[in-house]
């Protein structure tokens, strides 16, 4: 009888210990899940930027507001801005970048931004002194307008430094913004005869290169 009592007591102790062990195991299995906290990052608000496109006559730059996604890194915002420029105007202005243009890389160093474009910028650009000039300053002005600390723009094509965009406007050195190109050259549109004369002059001086002013 005494042995039976001892046996039952032993079984009871084993049962209690086993139950405690199972309870402890379940608590440990649940604890990590209870400690996990889900962090939901709030999306940054959109940012309004000012872009510069060519006016319908192709003579000067016109400003157009656009919304881009908010970002923590200015390089992301710069890429979004350039993508909006590439997508073209929504107000009837002329494009400044071919839609085929790839934005390969963006580097920011103090007040200088280097933008590496694909060769499609050159291949699909219409060319010509004024058209090239407006493209270069559309980029420089749009960047400086929205990132005031970026005073200089260096344009690269497929990672290479070129002397001209497409034979006319020099891009071998960094370019500074020039907002004088955002004003009409005259009180009204240029006469057709003047435009024709300029076109003929540009064809005759095809090898002439223009250095953007600093």
- What does each of the 214 residues of the chain score in pLDDT, given as a tens digit? 555 454 545 544 545 545 555 455 555 555 555 556 676 667 889 999 999 999 999 999 999 999 999 999 999 999 999 999 999 999 999 999 999 999 999 999 999 999 999 999 999 999 999 999 999 999 999 999 999 999 999 999 999 999 999 999 999 999 999 999 998 875 444 444 333 433 344 444 444 566 676 5
- Is the distance from CB of 43 to CB of 108 less than 8 angstroms? no
Eight-state DSSP code of residue 94: B
Domain membership of residue 155 (yes or no) is: yes
Domain membership of residue 197 (yes or no) is: no
Domain membership of residue 159 (yes or no) is: yes
pTM for the model: 0.72
| pLDDT for position 193 | 36
| pLDDT for position 152 | 98
Positive or negative CA dihedral for 50, 97, 90, 106?
negative
Q: Which domain holds residue 141?
A: 47-183
Domain membership of residue 202 (yes or no) is: no
Domain membership of residue 191 (yes or no) is: no
Domain membership of residue 121 (yes or no) is: yes
Continuous segment of H or E residues that includes residue 157: strand 152-157
Please tell me the total count of domains within the chain.
Answer: 1
Domain membership of residue 200 (yes or no) is: no
Least Cα distance to 157 among 97, 115, 127 occurs for 115
| pLDDT for position 27 | 58
Domain membership of residue 71 (yes or no) is: yes
């Amino acid at each position: 009888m005494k042995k039976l009592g001892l046996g039952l007591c032993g079984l009871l102790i084993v049962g209690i210990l086993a139950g405690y062990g199972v309870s402890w195991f379940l608590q440990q299995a649940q604890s990590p899940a209870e400690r996990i906290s889900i962090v939901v990052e709030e999306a940054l608000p959109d940012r309004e930027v000012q872009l510069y496109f060519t006016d319908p006559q192709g003579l000067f730059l016109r400003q157009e507001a656009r919304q881009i996604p908010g970002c923590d890194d200015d390089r992301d915002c710069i890429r979004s801005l350039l993508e909006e420029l590439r997508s073209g105007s929504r107000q009837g202005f002329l494009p400044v970048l071919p839609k085929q243009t790839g934005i390969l890389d963006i580097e920011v160093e103090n007040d200088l931004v280097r933008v590496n474009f694909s060769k499609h910028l050159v291949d699909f650009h219409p060319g010509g002194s004024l058209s090239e000039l407006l493209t270069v300053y559309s980029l420089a002005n749009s960047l400086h307008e929205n990132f005031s600390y970026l005073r200089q723009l260096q344009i690269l094509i497929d990672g290479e430094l070129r002397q001209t965009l497409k034979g006319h406007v020099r891009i071998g050195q960094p370019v500074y913004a020039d907002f004088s190109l955002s004003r009409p050259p005259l009180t009204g549109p240029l006469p057709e005869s003047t435009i024709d004369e300029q076109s003929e002059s540009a064809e005759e001086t095809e090898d002439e290169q223009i250095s953007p002013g600093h």
